[in-house]
Chains A and B, each alone.
Chain A
């Protein structure tokens, strides 16, 4: 299927174009943007990012590891220290807390990579250095017969230029 690339200079323009295209049934689209803009992300996909699942799993795993490790190791060779029980919760909470943060943070990073489909060796179709400057690119796959319509639609949404990146 042909892929069209529309270039915009404002985030609102892209967001409007995305809404129009999705309304017309062209859902196979993506936006290159130099910075994060809520309106674009809302228009492309209003669902919250899945990264949050990674954080909670990591955090819970961390707190469990923290307590399990400290308690098991203290019981594995029991030595009384400071007259406290072997499985002494208050001091072990410090370790469990730190591991919650550590595992939560590492899992969040993994979440970013998985959800953001990184690392990727090849850059996407139509990507250029203009989108890491200050312009926005809207990339959309359309059936051949709709190319002219989508082209008009993009221009109507104030695209500064439209080009065909793949036939």
Chain B
């Protein structure tokens, strides 16, 4: 291999054939570089229809006022807040997978974290839509921010709604930073292999990343620190959302269990959403060898764990209602199960508490169609959980004379459907624009295995 002595410098500049590109690069690039297929176009068409419907209703609501929603005394937090909490919950899977599992060195997260992070961002965006929709007078929404104004008034920092503002905005920004930092090396991969507008896009976004050891070292340190920061953040965000309820004196809301109860529910619903979305994506784009059944099985184990925590919280709520001996609490919980909203309650208990227990069986948590059905049912169940908490709580407060009844009307349901379309559109566009599998992280494992033998892989898992 050593060149003969005296070989001139000029002779050393030689061209050798470039070896073929990395198969991992090709597999993942195929997902977002290929022209959208008929299925994608059809899906985005349907979603655009849903979004147009929701947007029209919202514009109409801005014009007419919140009166068009189905609010009826005393229930003034309806489907909008239910769906807001639902989306904030969905948003928890991404950061959990990226940050907490990173700190625990659970290497299996590598294949799934990008899609979960993207879902986090889009779910937070969907949740934030509802803040605008729910306040009614959208042109005054900025009143929630502490900005200097001619009335010399400041916001009320003692209100949980304001904590929520800070928690949700922080969560949005940190999740965006997390996603972007993870994307940087993959954007450089795309930059090196594209031309035209895509090269301009990836070239700009990748900021001239070239994977020098100085950059990778800074990158690893950044990921570690962002994980360290995002771990308490993800636990705080849904805790703060739960305090929107728990700080009020409404029976069924005023409980100290709310923060952990909501956080477990958020992780539960977020993982379910990742499964519901990624099972079809994996099938359509043929990513079975990167996103293996092993990943899905681990996700199912998480569902089983969080389902059990959530069920425990349901039971404790009933126990405390009985044990406290407080009449309004007891009545509120009795009416949850056997009152006008009994159906929502039983959907919630069946979908979140009973059905996920099927994952105790290895056969079922490795059977992809079963996972898909169960994860979808969990999404339904978790929407109903928020519905049960909010609506039964508000409709049955202390004084029976002011009890009321609320059902979401078609306008509200159209806006809710619009938010699902909004989320799907963003994710569909992401699929066709950015690598949905973190290429460099998957390659890190592959190269590592090749260099040190594949026995290492099992241990790393």
Contact across chains for A34 and B211 when beta carbons are under 8 A apart: yes
Contacts of A148 in B (CB 8 A): 3, 5, 7
Q: Which of A12, A34, A94, A115 contacts B166 (CB 8 A)?
A: A94
Interface assignment of B38: CB less than 8 Å from any CB of chain A: no
Given A70-B157, A117-B214 in contact, is the A102-B173 Cβ separation under 8 Å? Answer: yes
Q: Which of A2, A34, A37, A73 contacts B146 (CB 8 A)?
A: A73
Output the nearest chain A residue to B207 by Cβ-Cβ distance.
A119
Given A2-B9, A116-B218, A129-B193 in contact, is the A108-B226 Cβ separation under 8 Å? Answer: yes
Output the nearest chain A residue to B26 by Cβ-Cβ distance.
A133
Interface assignment of B213: CB less than 8 Å from any CB of chain A: yes
Output the nearest chain A residue to B163 by Cβ-Cβ distance.
A94
Interface residues on chain B, number (Cβ under 8 Å): 74
Given A102-B173, A119-B207 in contact, is the A41-B443 Cβ separation under 8 Å? Answer: no
Output the nearest chain B residue to A127 by Cβ-Cβ distance.
B210
Contact across chains for B218 and A34 when beta carbons are under 8 A apart: no
A154 to B156, CA, bound (A): 65
Hey, what's the 0/1 contact readout for B189-225 against A, CB within 8 Å counting as 1? 1001100000000000001111111111111111001
A45 to B220, CA, bound (A): 14
Contacts of A151 in B (CB 8 A): 3, 12
Contact across chains for A98 and B170 when beta carbons are under 8 A apart: yes
Contacts of A63 in B (CB 8 A): none
Contacts of B214 in A (CB 8 A): 30, 44-45, 115-117
Hey, what's the 0/1 contact readout for A112-133 against B, CB within 8 Å counting as 1? 1101111111111001111111
Question: Could you tell me which residues of chain A, from 96 to 114, have a CB within 8 Å of some CB in chain B?
Answer: 97-99, 101-102, 104-106, 108-109, 111-113
Interface assignment of A1: CB less than 8 Å from any CB of chain B: no
Q: Which of B16, B156, B169, B218 has the most CB of A within 10 A?
A: B218
Distance (whole angstroms) from the CB of A2 to the closest CB of chain B? 7
Q: Which of A35, A51, A104 contacts B441 (CB 8 A)?
A: A35
Interface size class of A (residues with CB under 8 A): 35 or more
Output the nearest chain B residue to A49 by Cβ-Cβ distance.
B221
Interface assignment of B288: CB less than 8 Å from any CB of chain A: no
Contact across chains for B222 and A32 when beta carbons are under 8 A apart: no
Contact across chains for B22 and A101 when beta carbons are under 8 A apart: no
Question: Could you tell me which residues of chain B, from 1 to 53, have a CB within 8 Å of some CB in chain A?
Answer: 1-3, 5, 7, 9, 12-14, 16, 18-19, 21-22, 24-25
Contacts of A52 in B (CB 8 A): 221, 225
Output the nearest chain B residue to A79 by Cβ-Cβ distance.
B156
Output the nearest chain A residue to B21 by Cβ-Cβ distance.
A133
Contacts of A101 in B (CB 8 A): 170, 174, 229-230, 232-233, 236
Contact across chains for B157 and A102 when beta carbons are under 8 A apart: no
A102 to B168, CA, bound (A): 11
Contacts of B440 in A (CB 8 A): 34-36
A88 to B159, CA, bound (A): 12
Contact across chains for A35 and B21 when beta carbons are under 8 A apart: no
A13 to B446, CA, bound (A): 16
Which of the 9-residue segments B147-155, B309-317, B320-328, B409-417 touches chain A?
B147-155
Interface assignment of B448: CB less than 8 Å from any CB of chain A: yes
Output the nearest chain B residue to A107 by Cβ-Cβ distance.
B225
Interface assignment of A155: CB less than 8 Å from any CB of chain B: yes
Question: Could you tell me which residues of chain B, from 114 to 154, have a CB within 8 Å of some CB in chain A?
Answer: 146, 152-154
Contact across chains for A32 and B229 when beta carbons are under 8 A apart: no
Hey, what's the 0/1 contact readout for A35-68 against B, CB within 8 Å counting as 1? 1110011001100111110010001000000000
Interface assignment of B351: CB less than 8 Å from any CB of chain A: no
Distance (whole angstroms) from the CB of B32 to the closest CB of chain A? 15
Contact across chains for B158 and A91 when beta carbons are under 8 A apart: yes
A69 to B14, CA, bound (A): 63
A105 to B178, CA, bound (A): 9
A127 to B163, CA, bound (A): 47
Contacts of A131 in B (CB 8 A): 210-211
Contacts of B448 in A (CB 8 A): 11, 37
Contacts of A95 in B (CB 8 A): 157, 162-163, 166
Contact across chains for B229 and A105 when beta carbons are under 8 A apart: yes
Q: Which of B12, B219, B230 contacts A116 (CB 8 A)?
A: B219
A132 to B167, CA, bound (A): 37
Contacts of B169 in A (CB 8 A): 102
Output the nearest chain B residue to A34 by Cβ-Cβ distance.
B443
Contact across chains for A147 and B443 when beta carbons are under 8 A apart: no
Contact across chains for A112 and B447 when beta carbons are under 8 A apart: no
Contacts of B189 in A (CB 8 A): 132
Hey, what's the 0/1 contact readout for A3-40 against B, CB within 8 Å counting as 1? 00000001110000000000000000011111111001
Contact across chains for B210 and A32 when beta carbons are under 8 A apart: yes
Q: Taking A41-B220, A105-B226, A118-B208 as given, write out 15 further A-B residue pairs in contact, using a Cβ cutoff of 8 Å, ordered by the A residue number.
A: A11-B448, A37-B448, A41-B217, A45-B213, A76-B152, A77-B154, A84-B158, A92-B157, A99-B170, A109-B180, A115-B218, A123-B208, A133-B21, A148-B3, A151-B3
Top 9 closest pairs, chain A to chain B, by CB: A119-B207, A35-B444, A129-B192, A120-B208, A73-B154, A49-B221, A36-B216, A116-B215, A51-B221
Taking Cβ atoms with an 8 Å cutoff, the residues of B that contact A are: 1-3, 5, 7, 9, 12-14, 16, 18-19, 21-22, 24-25, 146, 152-158, 162-163, 166-167, 169-170, 173-174, 177-178, 180-181, 185, 188-189, 192-193, 207-222, 225-226, 229-230, 232-233, 236, 240, 440-441, 443-444, 446-448, 450-451
What are 14 residue pairs bridging A and B, where the CB atoms are less than 8 Å apart in the complex? A10-B451, A33-B212, A33-B213, A35-B444, A44-B214, A81-B158, A95-B162, A98-B166, A105-B229, A108-B222, A112-B181, A132-B188, A133-B25, A148-B5
